[in-house]
Amino acid sequence: MGTNQPKWLDNAVFYEIYPQSFCDTNGDGIGDFNGIISKLDYIKELGCNAIWLNPCFESPFGDAGYDVSDYYSAAPRYGTNEDLKRLFAEAHRRDMHVLLDLVPGHTSVEHKWFRESMKAERNEFTDRYVWTDSIWEEPQGMGCIRGISDRDGSCAVNFFSHQPALNYGFYKPDRPWQQSMDDEGPKATLEELKNIMRFWLGMGCDGFRVDMAGSLVKHDEDGKGTIALWQNVREFLDREFPSAAMVSEWGEPDKSLQGGFHMDFLLHFGPSHYNDLFRCAEPFFSDRGKGDVSEFIAKYKENYEKSERKGLICIPSGNHDMDRLARSIHGDNLKIAFAFLLSMPGAPFIYYGDEIGMRYVENLVSVEGGYGRTGSRSPMQWDSSTNAGFSSAAKEKLYIPQDESADRPTAEAQIADKNSLYNEVKKLIAIRQSYKALQSKGEIEFIYAEKDAYPLAYVRSAGDEKILVVINPAAREVSFDCNIIPKESIYGFGGTMSFADGKITVSPQSAGYFRI
Ligand code: GLC
Ligand code: CA
């Protein structure tokens, strides 16, 4: 730890853009950089001041771009490197920041490094990936690519079988083909990673969201090797790009923050209990009121303590890998979910379209390795024009089919309706931006988070500023023992709360923030 956190992260509210599906300006059915630039004012108007852009580099798109074939070139379907550079500049002009998605763990099989590494004769890229020294030996505990190269060996993969694992070494090598982190091959891979970062930071990006950041060093159970690797990267950044922001897809803040990341995500996989809130049979945020928030909070507290109460854990509204929030949470409860998401420590991340309650599109054939994730990646719904204003292409040419329902939400309609989800989210962001206690680094103390019970209550604080947050997704009145008497209400949704006789009584489906 001990790295300087860029100041703008303190009050950052991120908007995640899946470039394929955001806005198409040349009518080919797929989103592009110019489209994103044309919508920066929309994002800014909502109140978001930072963007995470999913991978936008050259790729055969077997995993939507998480299979990079050239780290130094923007994918032509989105535009040129110059267009991307302009996107950074246009964002900066609006006081916004942009994180690119860095995929350090694997490439596409089509990357020229991989093609070279498949050759039988030794060359510069022979050790760029994790290869065994015989086709008959598979790398333990990992999937692999075998039998397609002249080289005699099997190559480890990280995710899909077309994503060969880059070689950063093994924490404790125990086979002759396993290299240590200090061997030449792994050292060269790491230097190349720095070159890639140097290239895009030099172009004006503000940092990176790092894909599968905890997976780089192999057989590294406690993460010690991978932490050391990222510390090395942070030293390089501190020397050359001290203001670069780093957010990890790791899910273990105690490790990622030691590695020099500024923030980590709480995700839908691993032991986070994130799904208990939004995505399970009885989510806490459903109006049925049969959910349980207690295990999530217990885990959250554990992570919070491990990260020195710095509040650097980001809870996303969703992302390109999970079901849309609106698949299991409906109506007013979406607003209540946002009242929670926008009052927690760490930077909130809003997945494009979640601010208007875009739905999961059911029964789609997989697109670009999306499989079940495809329904969460459908094109943004802007207005009532053709293809919801996403693209002028023929419907069949759209990247992913859109929600066909007559009442599909659009940004235009929601902006016009003062009671819309969009306007509630906008209001919540504005409130967050006006109270330090509600922002990334404000402390949190849980007041009420009991097993199988409602509501959820916590106090956020920064110096003398203290804000009580009470969240009740259930369609019934609930109460809990609490002696706090607030000074002033700063946000309320869905009915009043009463404070009397050492009890707080909370209306059905309501949320409130109070200065105390
Ligand atoms: C991350 C990405 C996901 C991708 C995978 C492999 O989890 O978010 O979309 O498929 O890594 O790169
Ligand atoms: Ca396009």
CA distances from residue 162 to 25, 94, 118, 369 in whole angstroms, order as listed: 31, 39, 13, 11
346 Cα–ligand 1 center, Å: 21
Token pair recorded at residue 330:
């409906």
Residue 103, ligand 1, Cβ within 6 A: yes
326 Cα–ligand 2 center, Å: 27
Please report the pLDDT score of residue 307 as a whole number: 83
pLDDT digits (tens, 9 = 90+) for 108-155: 999 999 999 999 999 999 999 999 999 999 999 999 999 999 999 999
Q: Where in the chain is the domain with CATH 2.60.40.1180?
A: 443-515
Ligand 1 mutation target, pool 54, 61, 157, 211, most atoms within 8 A of CB: 211
Q: Where in the chain is the domain with CATH 3.90.400.10?
A: 106-167
Is residue 189 within 8 A of residue 168, CB to CB? The reply is yes
pLDDT digits (tens, 9 = 90+) for 168-182: 999 999 999 999 999
Which protein residue's CA is at the shortest distance from atom 1 of ligand 1? 211
Closest CA to 459 of 507, 509, 504: 504
Q: Is the pLDDT of residue 412 over 80?
A: yes
pLDDT digits (tens, 9 = 90+) for 352-383: 999 999 999 999 999 999 999 999 999 999 99
77 Cα–ligand 2 center, Å: 6
Nearest ligand 1 atom, CA 321: 9
Q: Is the pLDDT of residue 1 over 50?
A: no
Q: Which ligand is nearest to the CA of 249?
A: 1
CATH placement of domain 7-104+185-432: 3.20.20.80
Average pLDDT over residues 378-398: 98
Please report the pLDDT score of residue 267 as a whole number: 82
> Exposed e or buried b for every residue in 141-165, given b needs 16+ CB within 10 A?
ebbbbeeebebebbbbbbbeebbbb
Nearest ligand 1 atom, CA 67: 12
Which residues, at least 6 apart from 48, have a Cβ–Cβ distance to it below 8 Å? 13, 14, 15, 96, 350, 429
Phi first, then psi, for residue 461 (nearest 5°) are -150, 150
223 Cα–ligand 2 center, Å: 40
Q: Which residues surround ligand 2, an ion (CB under 5 A)?
A: 24, 26, 28, 30, 32
Residue 212, ligand 1, Cβ within 6 A: yes
Q: Which ligand is nearest to the CA of 35?
A: 2
197 Cα–ligand 2 center, Å: 26
DSSP 452-479: T---EEEEEEETTEEEEEEEE-SSS-EE
Is residue 11 within 8 A of residue 440, CB to CB? The reply is yes
Average pLDDT over residues 240-244: 97
Q: Select the CATH number that applies to the domain covering 106-167 from these four: 3.40.640.10, 3.90.400.10, 3.40.250.10, 2.30.290.10.
A: 3.90.400.10
Average pLDDT over residues 331-359: 98
Percent of the chain with pLDDT over 90: 95
Residue 211, ligand 1, Cβ within 6 A: yes
Q: Select the CATH number that applies to the domain covering 443-515 from these four: 2.60.40.1180, 3.40.50.20, 3.30.70.890, 3.40.50.300.
A: 2.60.40.1180
DSSP 395-423: GGGSSSPPP--TT---HHHHHH-TTSHHH
19 Cα–ligand 2 center, Å: 10
Which protein residue's CA is at the shortest distance from atom 9 of ligand 1? 321
Q: Where in the chain is the domain with CATH 3.20.20.80?
A: 7-104+185-432
Dihedral (Cα; 181, 184, 187, 188), 10-degree rounding: -150
Which protein residue's CA is at the shortest distance from atom 12 of ligand 1? 66
Note the pTM of the prediction, 2 decimals: 0.98
Nearest ligand 1 atom, CA 319: 8
Ligand 1 mutation target, pool 20, 69, 142, 159, most atoms within 8 A of CB: 159
Q: Which ligand is nearest to the CA of 104?
A: 1
Place of tokens 């908007």: 15
Residue 159, ligand 1, Cβ within 6 A: yes
Please report the pLDDT score of residue 473 as a whole number: 98
Closest CA to 336 of 357, 363, 305: 357
pLDDT digits (tens, 9 = 90+) for 56-80: 999 999 999 999 999 999 999 999 9
Residue 66, ligand 1, Cβ within 6 A: yes
205 Cα–ligand 2 center, Å: 22
318 Cα–ligand 2 center, Å: 24
Phi first, then psi, for residue 430 (nearest 5°) are -60, -40
Residue 499 three-state SS = strand
Q: How far apart are CA 401 and CA 386, in angstroms?
A: 13
Average pLDDT over residues 275-282: 96
Q: How far apart are CA 398 and CA 404, in angstroms?
A: 13
Q: Is the pLDDT of residue 306 over 90?
A: no
56 Cα–ligand 1 center, Å: 13
Please report the pLDDT score of residue 3 as a whole number: 55
161 Cα–ligand 1 center, Å: 13
User: Quick one: pLDDT band at residue 268, thresholds 50, 70, 90?
Assistant: confident
Q: Is the pLDDT of residue 475 over 50?
A: yes
Nearest ligand 1 atom, CA 369: 10
Q: Which ligand is nearest to the CA of 34?
A: 2
Please report the pLDDT score of residue 2 as a whole number: 44
In the predicted model, what is the mean pLDDT of the chain?
Answer: 97
Which protein residue's CA is at the shortest distance from atom 4 of ligand 1? 66
Ligand 1 mutation target, pool 66, 106, 323, most atoms within 8 A of CB: 66
Q: Which ligand is nearest to the CA of 21?
A: 2
Q: Which ligand is nearest to the CA of 20?
A: 2
Q: How far apart are CA 188 and CA 169, in angstroms?
A: 11
